[in-house]
């Protein structure tokens, strides 16, 4: 049996570094609201760690529509599972491993401290600079990432680069556009305090120029440690971020359509080179996991370029999920948007769902979605986070 778990706080737990990290109330709410998300990519015959009447009813309804072969299991029932099982979380961290062990999961099914330490090292942003060094002499590519140990270095780079767009400072461990400090003007005392706090707690700050971005995208890979770190390219992810770098959503297109769209800006051979070089890197430094590598198309003085490594996510990503949704659940002709959205109140969320269901009723054709609005998680009286598709 494979047990899938949605723990989107894994990057926050990695930043904390301790074995007893406790997420904040809003993060716990998100985990609760979206706990069944793995059902959309889980293998047939597997289980998802989730509980409650709403989740059970939702799984039953979706199973009837899409012939899913899954079951839900609660944390308290895990010790009663007699068959061996593989735990497949959104991402690994020491706190999550310890939580499962306290719940009664035998350590034989869980990674040891050395494995978790190695994964934590790979998951920090200083790995980005190693990948970018591979492309530094390649025409048609851009990207710079420096790791700074002193606030004086942060100030010098910020003040030097304000005339060409500014810089963005990044925490070594953070996720989804969090842990970023955008400096487009002179370095302030507030900026200094932010950088000093990150250096004190995480050891360094990563600095990158602010590029003239044209399009965000990612390449999704699977690295199989059990087969000599064999790397499989799963496909492209085409996504949007806001002005501060926070994830907004994915456009649901097939791989060929995304590739065709990107080649309006850059040559196909540059995309292929990116895929090959990044894949080779992951084959050396990977472990059994989904890996999403965020990239950009940027407009440089020399022309359009690929930034081949904005960051590496050694975990499942929303782009990975979007790839599965398009390939496995939509008709070939259908396109759409996949979005994860937070609402201030459950009433606001319920009104949003009702309006969109009325506006775009779900249309199913031979077990696949042809068009319409569909939630990917149940809507409950307390929900404040929603994952959904708008298909057309």
At CA 8, angle to CA 282 and CA 183, rounded to 5? 75
Of the candidates 115, 122, 80, the one whose C-alpha atom is nearest the C-alpha of residue 96 is: 115
Residue 366's pLDDT is what?
93
- Answer whether residue 312 shows pLDDT above 90: yes
pLDDT at position 285 is: 79
Report, as an integer, the average pLDDT of 271-277.
Answer: 98
**CA-wise closest residue to 274 among 84, 121, 114, 141:** 141
Q: Is the pLDDT of residue 289 over 90?
A: no
Are 372 and 330 contacting, i.e. CB atoms less than 8 angstroms apart?
no
**Residue 198: both structure tokens together:** 């990150």
Q: How far is CA 183 from CA 167, 168, 244, in A?
A: 5, 6, 11
Report pLDDT digits (tens) over 354-368.
999 999 999 999 999
Give 13's DSSP letter: H
pLDDT tens for 187-238 read 999 999 999 999 999 999 999 999 999 999 999 999 987 778 899 999 999 9
Work out the percent of the chain whose per-residue pLDDT is above 90: 84
Distance CA 307, CA 293 (A): 11
The Cα–Cα gap between 142 and 111 comes to 36
Mean pLDDT lowest among 160-169, 173-182, 261-270, 347-356: 173-182
Phi-psi region of 215 (alpha: psi -120 to 50; beta: other; left: phi over 0): beta
Which of the four pLDDT bands, split at 50, 70 and 90, describes residue 177?
low
**Mean pLDDT within 228-253:** 92
In the prediction, which pLDDT does 176 show?
63
> What confidence tens digit (pLDDT) does each residue in 322-346 have?
999 999 999 999 999 999 999 999 9
- The vertex-275 CA angle with 273 and 281, nearest 5°, equals 100
Residue 256 tokens read as 């060929």
Structure-token pair, residue 173: 């461990």
pLDDT tens digits, 147-163: 999 999 999 999 999 88
pLDDT digits (tens, 9 = 90+) for 73-95: 999 999 888 887 899 999 999 99
Mean pLDDT value across the chain = 94
- CA–CA dist 374, 361 (Å, integer): 8
Closest CA to 93 of 33, 12, 32, 170: 12
Quote the Cα angle for 179-214-332, to 5°: 100
- Residue 317's pLDDT is what? 95
Q: Which residues pair with 86 in a beta bridge?
A: 2
What pLDDT does 35 receive? 98
Residue 61 has pLDDT above 90, yes or no: yes
Percent of the chain at pLDDT > 70 equals 99
Cβ atoms within 10 Å of 216's Cβ, excluding its own: 21
What average pLDDT does the segment 164-186 reach?
88
As a whole number of angstroms, the distance between CA 296 and CA 145 comes to: 14
Mean pLDDT for 249-277 is: 98
pLDDT for 243: 79
**200's tokens:** 């004190």
What pLDDT score was predicted for residue 178?
77
pLDDT at 270 over 70: yes
- Cα 38 versus chain centre, distance: 13
């Amino acid at each position: 049996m494979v047990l899938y778990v949605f723990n989107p706080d894994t990057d926050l737990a990695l930043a904390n570094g301790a074995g007893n990290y406790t997420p904040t109330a809003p993060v716990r709410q998100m985990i609760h609201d979206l706990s069944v998300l793995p059902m959309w990519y889980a293998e047939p015959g597997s289980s998802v760690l989730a509980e409650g009447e709403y989740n059970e009813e939702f799984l039953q309804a979706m199973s009837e529509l899409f012939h899913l072969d899954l079951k839900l299991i609660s944390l308290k029932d895990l010790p009663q599972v007699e068959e061996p099982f593989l735990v497949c979380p959104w991402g690994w961290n020491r706190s999550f491993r310890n939580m499962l062990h306290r719940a009664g999961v035998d350590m034989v099914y869980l990674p040891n401290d050395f494995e978790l330490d190695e994964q934590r090292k790979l998951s920090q942003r200083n790995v980005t600079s190693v990948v970018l060094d591979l492309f530094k002499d390649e025409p048609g590519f851009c990207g710079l990432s420096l790791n700074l140990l002193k606030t004086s270095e942060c100030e010098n780079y910020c003040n030097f680069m304000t005339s060409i767009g500014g810089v963005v400072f990044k925490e070594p461990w953070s996720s989804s556009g969090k842990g970023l400090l955008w400096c487009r003007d002179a370095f302030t005392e507030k900026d200094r305090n932010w950088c000093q706090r990150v250096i004190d707690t995480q050891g360094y700050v990563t600095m990158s120029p602010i590029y003239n971005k044209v399009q965000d995208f990612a390449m999704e890979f699977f690295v199989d440690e059990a087969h000599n770190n064999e790397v499989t390219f799963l496909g492209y992810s085409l996504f949007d971020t806001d002005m501060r770098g926070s994830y907004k959503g994915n456009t649901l297109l097939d791989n060929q359509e995304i590739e065709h769209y990107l080649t309006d800006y850059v040559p196909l051979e540059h995309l292929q080179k990116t895929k090959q070089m990044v894949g080779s890197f992951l084959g050396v430094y990977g472990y059994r996991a989904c890996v999403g590598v965020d990239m950009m198309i940027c407009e440089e003085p020399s022309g359009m370029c690929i930034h081949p490594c904005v960051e590496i996510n050694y975990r499942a990503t929303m782009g990975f999920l979007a790839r599965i949704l398009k390939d496995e659940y939509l008709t070939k002709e259908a396109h759409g948007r996949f979005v994860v959205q937070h609402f201030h109140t459950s009433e606001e969320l319920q009104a949003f769902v009702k309006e969109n269901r009325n506006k775009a009723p779900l249309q199913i054709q031979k077990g696949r979605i042809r068009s319409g609005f569909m939630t990917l998680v149940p809507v409950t009286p307390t929900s404040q986070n929603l994952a959904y598709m708008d298909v057309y």
